[in-house]
Amino acid sequence: MVAAHPTNSAVQVANYFIKRAADENKPITNKKLQKLVYYAQVWSLVLNKEKLFREKMEAWVHGPVVPALYRKFMSFEANPITLDMSDATFSFGKKQLEVLDSVWSVYGDYDASYLEALTHSELPWQEARKDLPATEASNNEIDLKLARDFYAAKLGTEQAK
């Protein structure tokens, strides 16, 4: 069962990753941030059987994107996001934090280009893009049920219907 009304926003998830990046002195760009937020959402679906945030994700040319999140950080272009997050606090639950920490541990050391290539090699993004040319813009939504099933299969878990 997927929770119908998650209490977090994609911006809250993004802020968590921006703070982690700053704390560990690792640069994080908008493109990398989008991929981390995407992986947080899909792994939350697999591991916690609920959405982490409410916004939809679209299959853009450079991979999965939350449009509102992209617009919020687009002024940084391809440069690292430099926001003072030293006083940021978060209200994620224990299971949510476990997912966020796991996503950071697994994907946080990779750069944006690697994460883009990784998402491009995976079925959820490919299926949402269908037969679009590689450089054609798209606002096709990524199917979260398909994503959950795809990543659950990668993990080797069986999902309840």
Burial of residue 127 (number of CB atoms within 10 Å: 0-12, 13-18, 19+): middle
Q: Residue 136 belongs to what domain range?
A: 10-155
Please return the burial class of 38, using the count of CB atoms within 10 Å of its CB with bins 0-12, 13-18 and 19+.
Answer: buried
Cα 132 from Cα 75, distance rounded (Å) = 27
Q: Is residue 4 part of a domain?
A: no
Q: Is residue 89 part of a domain?
A: yes
Tens digit of each residue's pLDDT, the chain (161 residues):
444 456 789 999 999 999 999 999 999 999 999 999 999 999 999 999 999 999 999 999 999 999 999 999 999 999 999 988 878 888 899 999 999 999 999 999 999 999 999 999 999 999 999 989 999 999 999 999 999 999 999 988 544 44
Domain presence at residue 1: no
**pLDDT of 6:** 63
Is residue 161 in some structural domain?
no
Rounded to the nearest 5°, which phi and psi values hold at 63? 115, -170
Structural domain includes residue 124:
yes
Q: Residue 5 falls within a domain, yes or no?
A: no
Q: How many domains does the chain have?
A: 1
Within a domain: 94: yes
157 φψ region: left (φ > 0), alpha (ψ -120 to 50), beta (else): beta
Structure tokens that stand for 69 in this block: 């999140």
Q: Which residues contact 148 (CB under 8 A, 6 or more apart)?
A: 2, 42, 45, 46, 159
Give dist(CA 58, CA 27) in Å, integer.
24
